Amino acid sequence: MKFEIPPLPYPKDALEPHLGAETLELHYEKHHKGYLEKLRKALEGRPEAKLSLAEIVRTSTGNVFNNAAQVWNHDFYWLSLRPDGGGKPEGELLERVEKSFGSVEAFRQEFAEAANGEFGSGWAWLVKDPLDRLKVINSSDADNPLQQGLVPLLTLDVWEHAYYLDFRNERARYVEAFLDHLLNWDFVAANLALGPPAEDLEAEDIDPRAYRRRRENAIASGRSTGRGSDASPPSPPTASSS
Ligand code: FE
């Protein structure tokens, strides 16, 4: 079966004390891998099985969509987090954020409102629209910006399973910990550096695995504009999944 999920990009305890190893263990091993298993089952004998994951997310509905999107969203979520993240972006990305939202503080407020304001289970996103503007949106259940022709740059899972062990029912504290300590601005910068507007992107370019390869290349060649010169490549993925 062609659909796989990549290993976590860091060890399961790497996001402590904000998100504990037990949360990552359950979230990655049970929830994320659970969606993958359900997707594989749902695709058995169906024509969508030969599409890319991103194409399925953009074009399918019902059970196939729900599980495909949850696989894609979680792939993207793990890359949206990093140890010692959060705070302010730097350089070109700082200018983009200030141009779009007025200030980093205004972005933080808008993102927190989107994340806390999602009534049930869902996601908060930073996206690029077809006119190259940065925007914050939220989505319910498995919904994904690709369905609206938007380019995802960053996401935060606000399903309770993402934060309940660490923050109980206090979603706002989880959102604050994300913005202060976990948000991966390098990932946002790498996604923006993909260049072409949404309608020109090939399916592979909006697959999280392609994002990861490009991000690693961008950081390795010193082109990352996310957090300046202290950006360093993530831990080898093979060391992170056990
Ligand atoms: Fe989740």
Q: Place 3 in a pLDDT band, splitting at 50, 70 and 90.
A: confident
Q: Place 238 in a pLDDT band, splitting at 50, 70 and 90.
A: very low
- Report CA(213)–ligand 1 centroid distance (Å): 23
- The Cα–Cα gap between 88 and 84 comes to 12
- Report CA(21)–ligand 1 centroid distance (Å): 15
- Interval 211-234: pLDDT, tens: 666 666 665 555 444 443 333 333
- Report CA(175)–ligand 1 centroid distance (Å): 14
Inter-residue contact 53 to 68 (CB < 8 Å):
yes
- Give me the pLDDT at residue 227, please: 44
CA distances from 115 to 52, 82, 156 (A): 28, 18, 7
- Report CA(232)–ligand 1 centroid distance (Å): 26
Six token digits for residue 27? 């979230």
Strands of 134-140's sheet, edge to edge?
134-140, 122-128, 151-157
- Interval 102-156: pLDDT, tens: 999 999 999 999 999 999 999 999 999 988 899 999 999 999 998 898 889 999 9
- Report CA(202)–ligand 1 centroid distance (Å): 26
Inter-residue contact 173 to 165 (CB < 8 Å):
no
Closest alpha carbon to 82 in 223, 221, 216, 220: 216
What does the angle CA 137 – CA 63 – CA 151 come to, to the nearest 5 degrees?
A: 30
CATH of the domain spanning 21-226:
3.55.40.20
- Report CA(104)–ligand 1 centroid distance (Å): 26
Place of tokens 């996601």: 123
- Report CA(142)–ligand 1 centroid distance (Å): 9
Give the burial class of 107: count Cβ atoms within 10 A of its Cβ; 0-12 exposed, 13-18 middle, 19 or more buried: buried
- Give me the pLDDT at residue 30, please: 98
- Report CA(78)–ligand 1 centroid distance (Å): 10
Longest dimension (CA), the chain: 50
Six token digits for residue 64? 């196939």
What DSSP designation does 102 have? S
- Report CA(158)–ligand 1 centroid distance (Å): 7
